[in-house]
Amino acid sequence: MSRAIVTLSATQALSKLRSKEISATELTKAVLERAKQVQVLNLFLEITEAKALEQAAAADAAYAAGNAGTLAGLPLGIKDLFCTAGIKTTAASKMLAPFVPAYESTVTAKLWAAGAVNVGKLNMDEFAMGGSGENSAFGPTRNPWDASRVPGGSSSGSAAAVAAYACFGATGSDTGGSIRQPASFTGTVGIKPTYGRCSRFGMVAFASSLDQAGVFARTTADAALLLQTIAGHDPNDSTSAPLAVPNWVGELGQANLKGLKIGLPKEYFIDALNPVIKDAVMAAAKRFAAEGAELVDVSLPSTPYAVAAYYIVAPAEAASNLARYDGMRYGLRVEGNGLIETYINSRTAGFGDEVKRRIMVGNYALSSGYYDAYYTKAMQVRTLIANEFDAVFKQVDVLFCPTAPSLPFKIGAKANDPVSLYLEDAFTIPASMAGLPGLSVPCGTAHEGDVTLPIGLQMIGPRWQEGRLLQLAQAWEQLRGTFTTPFKIY
Ligand code: GLN
C-alpha cells in the first residue's frame, strides 16, 4: 500500500482520478489495505471489500467514458446506522446484528450516485448513545493518536477511520455532539449541519427531533464537498427542509475576516474546561482578531441546563423510537413463553446497558404524573436555549468555543460513570437542542507524557449558515497551517 496515496486529501485524490494519474481501483485497493492494516483500532464492523472493488471498477469505467460523478472512485466509510441495501446495518447493537436492509438511506444513495466507493460500515456507540465509542456491542473503537484512548463518540469509527487514513471521509450522525466531539478527539474536521439540512430517511433513529446526518474529513474543503453531496430536501423525510443546497465548495475562500464579529460565550470557558484547550481556542480567536475580526464576549445563560434537558428529551424520544425492537418484525428474537416473555427476552438480550438506561429514563420521564415535571420542563429549557442563540446571533456572526472540555481519555476511564461522560457533551448539546449548525476543526495539540493529542475548535452559526462555518474553518486552516493526523502502524 502506498502511504502517499492514502494520505492525500479527498480533493487531491479526486483530481488525480480525474487526470487519470491513478485509477479508482488502485486507490480503493490502497485504502482497503490500510483499513486492514489498522484493524486493531476496531474501526469497521464490516469492510465491504467486494462492494468497494465493484464500485471502483464502475468509477474507472465512468472516467473512461467521460461521465464520472463528482465523487467517482472516492473511498468513504459509512457509520453503521445508515441503511445500506444488501449490507448489514447494525447500529452497533446485538439487536440488529443480523439485519440486512432492503433499501438504501438517502444520504448513502446520494454518495453512491455521485460515484463514491463504500469501504465499509463503521463502528459506533450502540444506537448512537455514547460519547466514547465504548458502548458498541462489538467492542470499543480506539483512537489513532493513542490506541489506549477513546476516539470520542458516538461516531467513533467514522472519526477514527478518517484520522487513521482508512478512508477519505465518512458519514456520521450528531444528536448531541456525535460528529463534533469525535472530530475534536481525532484531529479531523466534522460538521453537523442545521437540523433539516439532510434527510434522515434510512438512518436508524435515536432522538428524531435532534438527529442529523453530517460528515467527517481531513480538511474543510473535503467536508464541504461531502456535505454538499448528501444535503438537500427529500420527499421521504418531511423534516428535511425544502431549501436549495448552496455551492459550499465554490464559496470557500470568500470569508472576509475584517469586521467579522466572533462571539465568545462565557458559559463555554468555565473551570471544568481543560486549560490547555482553553488556551488553544483563545489563541485561535486572537489569530482571527489579528486579521481584523472583532472578539465579542457574549452570554448564553441557559447553557448549564442544556445537558440535563437533553438527557430528558433524547431518552424520551429514544424510548419511543426503540419500542419497535421487540423481536417480532426484524432484528434479534429470543423466544419466550408467549408474547410478553418474547418481548422481554429479546429486549433483554438485544440491548446493551446504556441503551436500557436511556429507555428506562425516557419511559419514566414520559409517564403520566412525571411528564410535566420532566418532559415539559425540558422542552421549556430547550426553547430558552434556542431563543438565547437567536438573540446572540443578532450581535455576532459566529460563535467560537471549545468542542469538548477534555482531551481524549483512556478507554475505561469513565465507563462506570455515565454522568461524567454526559458532561463531555456540555459544549455540543446546546447547538443540537437549538438545531443549529456546528463544526469542529483542529486548532492545536496537547501533550500528556509523550503522547500528543488533538484539540478541536467549535464554530456554531445561525440556522442554514453552514457555508459561513465552512468558509471560516477553511480560513482558520490557512492561518493555522498544515495539521496532519499521525500515520501509524499499530
Ligand atoms: N454523547 C451524546 C449521547 O450520548 C450524544 C450522542 C449523539 O450525538 N448521537 O447522547
Closest CA to 262 of 452, 398, 438, 462: 398
Ligand 1 centroid, distance to 314 Cα (angstroms): 9
Residues (pLDDT < 70) of the chain are 1
Distance CA 101, CA 401 (A): 39
What spacing in Å lies between the alpha carbon of 322 and ligand 1's midpoint? 15
> Where in 194-340 does DSSP place strands (E)?
212-217, 261-265, 294-298
Q: Is 425 in the pocket of ligand 1 (CB under 6 A)?
A: yes
Nearest to 434, CA basis, from 466, 467, 395, 390: 390
Give the closest residue (by CA) to ligand 1 atom 4.
130
CB 131 less than 6 A from any atom of ligand 1: yes
Q: Judging by DSSP bridges, how do beta strands 169-174 and 212-217 pair with one another?
A: antiparallel
Residue 472 grid cell: 471560516
367 among known catalytic residues: no
- Domain architecture of the chain: domains with CATH: 3-258+403-480 (3.90.1300.10)
Query: How far apart (Å, rounded) are the C-alpha atoms in residues 72 and 302?
Result: 45
Backbone angles phi, psi at 170, to 5 degrees: -155, 155
Q: What is the DSSP string of 230-241?
A: HBS-BTTBTTS-
* Cβ–Cβ < 8 Å for 431, 438: yes
Tell me which of 175, 216, 403 to substitute to probe ligand 1's pocket, judged by most ligand atoms within 8 Å of the beta carbon: 175
Q: Which residues pair with 170 in a beta bridge?
A: 77, 216
Q: Which of 263, 174, 186 is nearest to 210 (CA)?
A: 174
Instruction: Give catalytic status of residue 154 as yes or no.
Output: yes
Q: What's the half-sphere exposure (Cβ side, CA atoms, 13 Å) at 199?
A: 22
Please tell me the distance between residue 227's alpha carbon and the centre of ligand 1 in angstroms.
Answer: 20
Question: Residue 319 is which amino acid?
Answer: A
Name beta bridge partners: 76: 118
Q: Is 155 a catalytic residue?
A: no
Between CA 103 and CA 106, with CA 104 as vertex, the angle to 5 degrees is 135
* 214 Cβ inside 6 Å of ligand 1: no
Residue from 154, 155, 184, 346 carrying the catalytic annotation: 154
Ligand 1 atom showing the smallest separation from residue 174 Cα: 8
> Which of 23, 132, 156, 178 does the annotation list as catalytic?
178
Ligand 1 near 315 CB (within 6 A): no
Any bridge partners for residue 400, and if so which? 459
Tell me what pLDDT residue 1 has: 58
Determine the atom of ligand 1 nearest the C-alpha atom of 181.
1
Q: What is the pLDDT of residues 42-51, one digit of tens each?
A: 999 999 999 9
pLDDT at 248: 98
Ranges assigned E (strand) in 153-284: 169-174, 189-192, 212-217, 261-265
- Assess whether the C-beta atom of 174 lies below 6 angstroms from ligand 1: yes
CA distance 170 to 466: 18
The alpha carbon of residue 330 and the mean position of all alpha carbons in its chain are separated, in whole angstroms, by 26
Q: Where are the beta strands (DSSP E) in 141-245?
A: 169-174, 189-192, 212-217
- Residue 175 CA, chain-centre distance (Å), reads 9
**175 C-alpha to center of ligand 1: Å?**
6
Distance CA 28, CA 115 (A): 13
Q: How far is the CA of 96 from the centre of ligand 1 (A)?
A: 19
Residue type, 66: G
Task: Confirm if 170 and 122 have CB atoms less than 8 A apart.
Answer: yes
Each residue's pLDDT tens digit, 440-455: 999 999 999 999 999 9
- Contact partners, residue 50, CB within 8 Å, separation at least 6: none
Atom of ligand 1 nearest to the CA of 130: 4
Q: b vs e for 55-92, b when ≥16 Cβ sit within 10 Å of the residue's Cβ? A: bbbbbbebbeeeebbebbbbbbbbbbbbbbeebbbbbb
Residue 417: the pLDDT is 87
> Is the beta carbon of 267 within 6 A of some atom in ligand 1?
no
List the catalytic residue out of 79, 121, 192, 278. Answer: 79
CA of 129 to the centre of ligand 1 (A): 5
pTM: 0.98
Instruction: Check if the beta carbon of residue 115 is closer than 8 Å to that of residue 136.
Output: no
Cell 436549495 belongs to residue: 244
Tell me, in angstroms, the distance from the centre of ligand 1 to residue 120's CA. Answer: 22
